[in-house]
Amino acid sequence: MMAPDSARESVLAPVAARYAWWLGLSAERAAERDVPPEQVWAMPVVLRMEKTHPPARTPLLEAAAGAALSVCLDDEARPGGAWYEPLHTWTSGHIRKVARRARGAHWEAVQHLPGVTVDVDGAQARALVPCRVGDLPREVARLQISGSDLPADDPGPAPDGLPVLLLNPEVPMSAGKAAAQVGHATMLLAALLDASALAEWAAHGYRCAVRVADSGFWDEGVAAVADPRRAWTEHGLVAVRDAGFTEVEPGTVTVLARWS
């Protein structure tokens, strides 16, 4: 039996509908504030952090950003695919991610779960198909959330031709928190791109550049996204505003994402 039209939309369609109000799309969102924590849907993002050879912070965040989007745009995420229903259920609510760290055998164990692993300059992250927090696979539930921080690095200027994800220079975030935020950013960019631009990005494996914003640009960017339609249509700029469940205050702009 064919699913109704609303069930056959892209898994990123609800993301576009809620952010890009000017498109006039349906933007219903399930209320989650009163939902028991174990019933909340979330995407697990597993960061590989070996004890003896930890990754650099920037490539790990870039890997996490690419992995989260790759799950949403995988062939299995299309209508009729095995991942479609859980992804669409998740994007129709609050876009929560749970970042955890893994090494050794624990990292190898999560490779067998449905998802996508991305490697950037030797740093690896795997984003998994979303599920209810209470239904996290054992391989994920046993992983730690705490301790997912890494020292700041100096990656240099962002390469030309890649979307740039600029982190808030005024709000400290653990690597796990930042990984979730840049994953939100790539999803939001992809949700607003046309088919041609999205195909171009796909050809580059959804690579992006993560950088900490210059304070001057950050202030200008935050002022610009006060008018999100103009910021996107004129500057290719979108903002990730955090719901405030962990680490930062509700409504904090954590990332400004700029399409190249």
pLDDT digit string, tens, across residues 70-90? 999 999 999 999 999 999 999
- Identity of residue 178: A
Asked if residues 208 and 62 have their Cβ atoms less than 8 Å apart, the reply is: yes
Q: How confident is the model at residue 33 (pLDDT cuts 50, 70, 90)?
A: low
> Which is it for strands 164-167 and 131-132: parallel, antiparallel or unpaired?
unpaired
Residue 218 three-state SS = helix
Asked if residues 116 and 71 have their Cβ atoms less than 8 Å apart, the reply is: yes
Quick check: 5 pLDDT over 50?
no
Per the structure block, which two tokens stand in for 190? 């992809």
Pick from 145, 181, 144, 206: which is nearest to 61 by CA?
A: 181
> What pLDDT is stored for residue 251 in this prediction?
87
Q: Which residues pair with 47 in a beta bridge?
A: 101, 125
For 99-139, the pLDDT digits (tens) are: 999 999 999 999 999 999 999 999 999 999 999 999 999 99
Quick check: 169 pLDDT over 90?
yes
- E strands along 147-201, which residues? 164-167
> What pLDDT is stored for residue 243 in this prediction?
78
Distance CA 256, CA 197 (A): 19
Run of H or E residues at 230: helix 228-235
> What pLDDT is stored for residue 7 in this prediction?
45
Average pLDDT over residues 171-175: 92
Pick from 133, 28, 3: which is nearest to 78 by CA?
A: 3
- Among 27-31, 138-142, 162-166, 173-177, name the one with the lowest average pLDDT: 27-31
- DSSP state for residue 200 in the 8-state scheme: H
List domains and CATH numbers for the chain: 10-26+38-145+158-258 (3.40.1490.10)
> What pLDDT is stored for residue 1 in this prediction?
21
Distance CA 233, CA 85 (A): 31
Angle (deg, nearest 10), helices 57-73 and 175-192: 40
